[in-house]
Structure 1
């Protein structure tokens, strides 16, 4: 992704391995400052996943791969490390996929760094393919909408939902993007808008509750990411995604999900079987550490919701664009 570092625009990844340490952008500090954090213990990487220093299913997957890399380099019990890393967050399938990938590579004698770097490289290549396929859906003059952050920050580099927008923009297409703020952690406002701005893509931040209003005024295409996709096409994504899908169906707006095949969980039959992470209520009741909710009021804070497959127009994957009933084409 393009980012201003030391007053110079350069390409930078969301997470990588350098000089024996895992390096990642601290996404909690954006958009006000770009801070790089470094870890040399796999449990610290696990904590970075848990506390959302790193976010987005593919980037979480890459961070998990590098956590397993550190565990292997330090001679840790890999089965215990795998269980520790997988316990960081329950919903994103890429986390579990990456840990299984690394266990398989390491059991075969692979170099830990090469294996983890290979996983991250594959993630980028998949996102590039998603960008190429998805860009075909975008035409000059379109108004697009997205939710949460499914850009380069969430996917090591390039993005899933934002990848088609990046590729279309590079092709000279001009379009406008509504980026919903994404309460309560504000990933849409703080991360997606930051990425779109870095790329020079025209956009505006809107309150989550204004999404239906702007759809009623004219939105041509909605693209979101996903954290886990069940075998039947139901998918989990940031809370508020299902609202948009329902309204999009009402107004006849195409609704696409951009995700690599690693996000598909073929062992999970339907969305009813997806575990939804419940985040601390302070994320809702407080702003910058100051409580704004009435004393004594409780808050409920599911991090994700599950959108039924019947509301999805198609899945933009590295294998091409699939209708929900075509998912079995990428099984195995």
Structure 2
């Protein structure tokens, strides 16, 4: 059980960093599969390594997946050289195929492809120049994500404080913090900002079956930083709301469509329905890179399904009968009419719909 008496808790705020570019041209990732019992880092040297890390959940969370993929392109060029454009293109395809739902992945790869195309249009680039340009773009994506997270946190807290008196009690789902982003967090960035402004009442963290990101990652992050957190089973969320212990449900997103429908970790839709029933506020916090204006509604979002062994076993321990059929979607879609606010670095959309989304993002759908 994670608490302040646990040997892993020092009482001092400790920043968490899950993605680091090393000077020797490797990508260093915190292996999130090992947490909270082990803090293990791995070093990647190829694009295939980066794609495998994304697919195998070494790194997860839409913004972090995009950042890792961007660095994966840098690894590809370092390995192949700029003359091996066909190999780099194949590596980008492998990276794109690693997770289908998180739109940040494709957004980041598109930015990296534009850098390559720009250099190709100028003639055969000098190897060092292209490598440096790609590295700068990946690092810019990383830095911009942290800046966007902090801006969203400030905006979200301003809205929350305008809506109610403090302290503010939050329920969150999955992991949306430094581990899932460039280093600060979307929904957990809001929690961090509440703590910084001394208006956080408490955080309740859903365990988040089947990968237990809430238990293994969110609780771990918050304990590391001395932020008060209580871990609860997913099925206890309704009871907490009924007992009057929650003010806001704050979650992240992996993709948001033109009308404001939002794909997030499986179980989010249930929380939105519960929040609506209990008269609580439901907030989605995600960077602009998560907005996919090419998709009109959540029905158009591809929902990743994973192998059933993830739900019939926990840490290798079988908990279901052999031969049972399984259904293991990774995400669900929350309709926009259950969402009170979508917070991005570009602005806040209260009670989102397609008209409001288009007004803020000024993009068109095919």
TM range (shorter): over 0.9
User: 1:15 maps to which residue?
Assistant: 19
Q: Indicate which of 58, 64, 86 corresponds to 1:59.
A: 64
Equivalences for 1:29-108 in 2 at 5 Å? 29-74=34-79, 75=81, 76=84, 77-108=87-118
Structure 1 residues 34 and 67: alpha-carbon distance in aligned structure 2, compared to 1, 3 A threshold: same
Greater CA deviation, 99-108 or 157-166?
Answer: 99-108
Counterpart contact for 1:40–1:70, Cα < 8 Å: yes
Aligned-partner Cα distance in 2 for 1:118–1:170: 26
Equivalences for 1:194-233 in 2 at 5 Å? 194-218=220-244, 219-233=246-260
For the pair 1:161 / 2:187, whether they are aligned, the reply is yes
Q: Indicate which of 223, 237, 241 corresponds to 2:264.
A: 237
> Gaps spanning 5+ residues in structure 1: where?
none
After superposition, give the CA deviation of every residue in 1:131-171 in whole Å (9 maximum; x if it has no partner).
Answer: 11112215532221000001110002110001111012112
User: 1:148 maps to which residue?
Assistant: 174
Q: CA deviation at 1:78?
A: 2.8
User: 2:200 maps to which residue?
Assistant: 174
Structure 1 residues 6 and 80: alpha-carbon distance in aligned structure 2, compared to 1, 3 A threshold: farther
Alignment RMSD, CA only?
1.8
> Gaps spanning 5+ residues in structure 2: where?
1-7, 120-129
Greater CA deviation, 229-238 or 136-145?
Answer: 136-145
Q: CA deviation at 1:224?
A: 0.2
User: 2:301 maps to which residue?
Assistant: 274
Counterpart contact for 1:73–1:112, Cα < 8 Å: no
User: 2:214 maps to which residue?
Assistant: 188
Counterpart contact for 2:191–2:200, Cα < 8 Å: no
Q: CA deviation at 1:13?
A: 2.2
Structure 1 residues 8 and 133: alpha-carbon distance in aligned structure 2, compared to 1, 3 A threshold: closer
Q: CA deviation at 1:73?
A: 2.0
Structure with the greater alpha carbon radius of gyration: 2
After superposition, give the CA deviation of every residue in 1:17-69 in whole Å (9 maximum; x if it has no partner).
Answer: 11210111110111112111100010011000000000100000000100011
Aligned-partner Cα distance in 1 for 2:10–2:114: 39
Counterpart contact for 1:134–1:163, Cα < 8 Å: no
Structure 1 residues 295 and 221: alpha-carbon distance in aligned structure 2, compared to 1, 3 A threshold: same
Aligned-partner Cα distance in 2 for 1:8–1:240: 32
Greater CA deviation, 73-82 or 33-42?
Answer: 73-82
Aligned-partner Cα distance in 1 for 2:114–2:9: 37
With structure 2 as the length reference, what TM-score do the two structures score? 0.86
Counterpart contact for 1:78–1:103, Cα < 8 Å: no
Q: How many residue pairs were aligned?
A: 329
With structure 1 as the length reference, what TM-score do the two structures score? 0.95
User: 2:341 maps to which residue?
Assistant: 314
Q: Which runs of 4+ in 1 moved over 3 A?
A: 4-12
Counterpart contact for 2:14–2:225, Cα < 8 Å: no
Counterpart contact for 2:16–2:221, Cα < 8 Å: no
User: 2:150 maps to which residue?
Assistant: 128
Aligned-partner Cα distance in 2 for 1:181–1:199: 19
Aligned-partner Cα distance in 1 for 2:143–2:299: 32
Structure 1 residues 6 and 133: alpha-carbon distance in aligned structure 2, compared to 1, 3 A threshold: closer
User: 2:4 maps to which residue?
Assistant: none
